[in-house]
Structure 1
């Protein structure tokens, strides 16, 4: 198994402390069939298959993939388990990550389980609940002013000799998220859903699901959902003029310039999908709808539901199977 540059194809070992190629290209993962069979299960927090919950609302049936049931409360556990499991195998003992909360908590938790020291850079305005969770796992939390993108820049600048366990730059993370696609496929009777509405910040959820369905051999239509206050993917997908980035209530969507934007656009276009932006007021309405159906989710799930409502404003065919991931628990708000 090794990394290779998506631009110039230069190969790097997984143990490299570089987070991108010297040419500026980002890494992808190359692995053989033997690698795929050897998943290094030494590090675990008791993760399990999450429910795919069918709920009728707005005269439509949606299937909610309940990733809030993962050990640290978000889908990021899938990527963290895969990444940290591999790092244990190759002898890494110190990691750094930047995060708006969920990825930082997941990597900190799995690093703690593996005996790996962890340092997490976060925007200084993340919720107290997210920061408290990361700290509880024994990680060093570094608060950085001026938003999510600046936290990423500072983390990379201060990396030193530590390994960058990034959910954005390290392709092992997205490789772990592929398992969600496989679960959805089997939970729908070995069929692929018609649509999946995916909240998009840095795009790790979308890219992981895309890779998983590519392996299955058939793609659902992916619809990326963002807030109108920060919608770089929507603007790029539709060729719209870039607008000023503002703070949205959905914290993890506040990514003004996703490093893997070309890959995100490729996933949307290859799946004949779309990208939509929704107002924060619609996200709050969708959150209330979920709450009143017994789902207390983080606001990215509400954003995805708001995107589906907007997309199917004129109605949805009865036979459509539409999946909406619930990326994380509302207890982190």
Structure 2
């Protein structure tokens, strides 16, 4: 399977892994080969093309293949990127919980929903362990589109509440994350599938986080970007945007992508590192629920993105995730356990020397701790008593 991007085309279209192309007007969400679709390459952005009057990711509309006149936006993007002292090193943290539904998923969903609404979709279906579902519910409400969200039984109550508050129909499915996805795919025969894992326009939205890094750093690329990955949409989005900027001559190198995954859900990291994921044995529940995906839809693309950047990936033990949540909170950053995997990965790659102290490093924190109240309570259980004793 070829994970490389095709040459730039005058009018972007869709293509699958076999190389077959489809019109952007085609409502399909996967290729005839059964694999995911991607959008044909678009020219990279130049600084003068940024719509500086727009305070949202739509300031980069020149590289978004959707009609801006029909956009569905709640002000997503333009999230803070703050310098933090991390073990004596200056590291930038990109705070994606400043998006409207408090996670990075809003970037992809805004672009995806804009595309779907422009094509007259009146109802959408999504399957999600939390953040993706609440984002689809919110943007569907903004677009006047009905939404049905299928969620795993273990989904955070706060995330289900948010999804329901936006008017979405909720269906709870017992079983693994893959079984939930399988149920959604069965129902997609009757309802347009707005899957954040499958839909090609979602990646077009996630790539804007990289454009923001580039703009915030004075139109230069960082040396390193550290990410958590479940399905890998941020990994692929960063690869796509930095590739566009490199092709446009706006940067002279790709940042290295460093990726962390929960230990028993590290399919991307294991594949990159030549480890058989099945060798880890039975998959165990993780506090980082948003990254518990055993079979990422875009696995070869995510692996190739890391490899192309010269980066690396690691499996993070549960103890490391707990420690990262506490370390972030001690610095005023209340990040949910899933996004804290990135901070744990940062510790790993600093310890190995793969990230040097004098390099410019950006860590993306994908979601807020307020949306994972039960998981955060588990992390800090007993600490208050210990502090008083």
Question: Shorter-chain TM-score: which interval?
Answer: over 0.9
Alignment partner of 1:19 out of 29, 40, 46? 29
Structure 2 residue corresponding to 1:231, chosen from 232, 247, 266: 266
Check the 8 A contact 1:15/1:90 in 2, yes or no: no
Q: 1:32 to 1:223 in 2, by over 3 A?
A: closer
User: Which residue, out of 359, 376, 380, partners 1:320?
Assistant: 359
C-alpha distance in structure 2 between counterparts of 1:8 and 1:329, whole Å: 38
**1:36 CA drift (Å):** 4.1
Q: Which residues of 2 match residues 195-274 of structure 1 at below 5 A? A: 195-217=224-246, 218-242=253-277, 243-244=280-281, 245-274=283-312
- Tell me if the contact between 2:70 and 2:117 (Cα under 8 Å) persists in the aligned partners: no
Conserved? CA contact 1:195–1:221, under 8 Å:
yes
Tell me by how many angstroms 1:46 deviates: 2.5
- Which residue number in structure 1 is paired with residue 85 of structure 2? 56
Higher mean C-alpha deviation, range 321-330 or range 234-243: 234-243
Q: Which residue of 2 aligns with 1:298?
A: 336
Note if contact 2:336-2:370 (Cα within 8 Å) is conserved in structure 1: yes
Superposition deviation, residue 319 in structure 1: 2.2
Check if 1:115 corresponds to 2:144: yes
**What are structure 1's unaligned runs of at least 5 residues?**
none
Q: Specify the SS of the correspondent of 1:235.
A: helix
Equivalences for residues 148-187 of structure 1 within 5 A: 148-187=177-216
- 3-state SS of paired residue (2:178): helix
Q: CA deviation at 1:195?
A: 1.0
- Offset at 1:90? 1.0
Per-residue CA deviations over 1:241-295 (Å, capped at 9, x if unaligned) read 3223221110011000111100001100100111111111111111111111111
SS in 2 for 1:208: helix
TM-score normalised over the length of structure 1: 0.95
Cα displacement string for residues 96-145 of structure 1 (whole angstroms, at most 9, x for unaligned residues): 01111111111110000000010111111011011111111101111111
Structure 2 vs 1, CA of residues 237 and 185 (structure 1 numbering), >3 Å: closer, same or farther?
Answer: same
Stretches of structure 2 lacking an aligned partner (at least 5 in a row): 1-11, 44-61, 247-252, 373-389
Match of residue 345 from structure 2 = 307
Q: How many residues align?
A: 332
Distance 2:70 2:104 in 1: 18
For 2:55, the equivalent position in structure 1 comes to none
Structure 1 residue 230: Cα displacement: 1.4
> Residue 12 of structure 1: CA displacement?
4.6
Residues 6 and 40 of structure 1, relative CA distance in 2, 3 Å threshold: farther
CA distance in 2, matches of 1:262, 1:314: 25
Quick one: which of 126, 146, 158 aligns to 2:175? Answer: 146
**Superimposed CA distance per residue, residues 2-29 of structure 1 (whole angstroms, 9 cap, x where no aligned partner):** 422221414254442x332222232111
Say which is worse superposed, 199-208 or 45-54, in terms of deviation.
Answer: 45-54
Question: Structure 2 vs 1, CA of residues 225 and 144 (structure 1 numbering), >3 Å: closer, same or farther?
Answer: same
Tell me how far 1:158 sits from its aligned partner: 1.5
Contact 2:67 2:115 in 1 (8 A): no
User: For the pair shown, which has the larger CA radius of gyration, 1 or 2?
Assistant: 2
Q: CA deviation at 1:48?
A: 4.3
Which residue of structure 1 lines up, in the alignment, with residue 371 of structure 2?
Answer: 332
More off after superposition, 218-227 vs 306-315: 306-315
Partner residue of 2:325 out of 287, 293, 307: 287
TM-score normalized by the length of structure 2:
0.81
Deviates more, 1:30-39 or 1:234-243: 30-39
Whose strand proportion is higher, 1 or 2? 1
Cα pair 2:226 2:342 within 8 Å, conserved = yes
